[in-house]
Structure 1
Amino acid sequence: MNDRILQWQTEHANFTRLLDLVDAQTALIEHGEQPDYELMLDVMYYMTHYPDRYHHPHEDIACQVLLERDADVQAWVDDLAAQHRHIAASGEQLVRDLNAIVDGALVSRSAVEADAQAYTRTLREHMAREEERIFPALERTLSAEDWEQVDGRIDRIPDPVFGGDVDPRYSGLQQRIAEQVGCECTPVR
């Protein structure tokens, strides 16, 4: 399998770990308990600053190259781009909700719950679709030269949570991930 696709699958697994944290906190809201809104905000800050700005645009570029090679995937590529925009907007809404709560504003718990559930459900469904349809099509169609073109069209940064050197902004989040859901990372002490 192509190294880039393997990386994206690893990133999807990491994103799933974070969605699990959001879902666990959302379940607390659902049961009338107090969630860790700051943890949720840390997760969503990451989700709106790494996947939305680097992971998804990289996939979009690969899909544009795929479309140049296979016009029959037009509907898939259009759908994927629309999903990326929807996920970004949904994530930004949840960040606004969580920022407001952390800043002391009164925000409906049911609104936060609904926004969080919609975000995690949509992203999980999206990743499953990519892995079922898009990644195999990319694997079949793109050449090594195509992948070089894809990689050359985006600035890549190391993952600030799972990429080795943890960005200080995420040290608490990374430690919670290591403690609660496990990861291929060493907790920052």
Structure 2
Amino acid sequence: MSGHILKWQAEHANYHKLLDLLQSLTASFMHGDEPDYDLMSDIVYYMTQYPDHYHHPREDVAFRRLLARDPTLAAIVDELAHQHGAISECSTALAADLAAAANGAMMPRSTLATDVRNYVAFLKNHMDDEERELFPRLAAALDDEDWFLVDSAIHFAADPIFGDSVQERFRTLHRRIAGQAHCGCKEPAATVCCLD
């Protein structure tokens, strides 16, 4: 399988970790615990900054290259590309809701829990559809020149949580995910963390 597809699958696995943590944090405050709006906001902020600006646009370029080779895939390519836009809108809306709740806006916990549940389900279903419907086709159809054009179309940025170094804003989030994974990583270090 293409190295690009393997990387995207690894990124999807990382996004699943974040979405699982977001669900866990939401379940805790639904059971009466103090909400950790900062950590929840960091998760959603990350989703608006990295996947929405780097991961999804690269997929869109690859999907268009695939469509040029197989026009019969137009419906699924169009749907998944449309979902990328919808994911970005949902991420932005959820980030605004979390910021409002953190600033004391009156909002039923159940409303925020429903928003999180819908957001997580949407993203997970989307990733599953990509991996099932298009990733195998991309791996089979795109050649080195196609992948070069995909890489050239979108400026590369290091992942601020799962990359070689963790940005300061995301250190707590990184530690929390590492703790859930029971990997022994205490701090992002020069050595490769198991989350990479």
Normalised-by-shorter TM-score class: over 0.9
CA 1:166–1:152 in structure 2 vs 1: closer, same or farther (change >3 Å)?
Answer: same
SS at 2:11 equivalent: helix
The equivalent residue for 1:160 is 160
Amino acid at match of 1:132: R
* Contact 1:41–1:99, Cα closer than 8 Å, also in 2: yes
The equivalent residue for 1:20 is 20
Q: In the TM superposition, what are the counterparts of 1:17-56 in structure 2 within 5 Å?
A: 17-56=17-56
* Residues 113-133 of structure 1, C-alpha deviations (whole Å, 9 max, x = no match): 111000100001111111101
When structure 1 is superposed on structure 2, of 33-42 and 118-127 the one drifting more is 33-42
Amino acid at match of 1:69: R
* Residues 49-94 of structure 1, C-alpha deviations (whole Å, 9 max, x = no match): 1011110111001001111111011001101011111111111111
* Contact 1:25–1:40, Cα closer than 8 Å, also in 2: yes
Structure 1 residue ranges (4+ consecutive) displaced by more than 4 angstroms after TM superposition: 182-186
SS at 1:84 equivalent: helix
Over the aligned positions, Cα root-mean-square deviation in angstroms equals 1.7
| Identity across matched positions, percent | 46
Q: How many aligned positions are there?
A: 189
The alpha carbon displacement at 1:164 in A equals 1.3
Amino acid at match of 2:62: A
The equivalent residue for 2:64 is 64
Gaps of 5+ in 2: 190-196
Mapped to 1, the partners of 2:12 and 2:117 lie a distance apart of 18
Gaps of 5+ in 1: none
CA 1:37–1:164 in structure 2 vs 1: closer, same or farther (change >3 Å)?
Answer: same
The equivalent residue for 1:174 is 174
1:89 aligns with 2:80: no
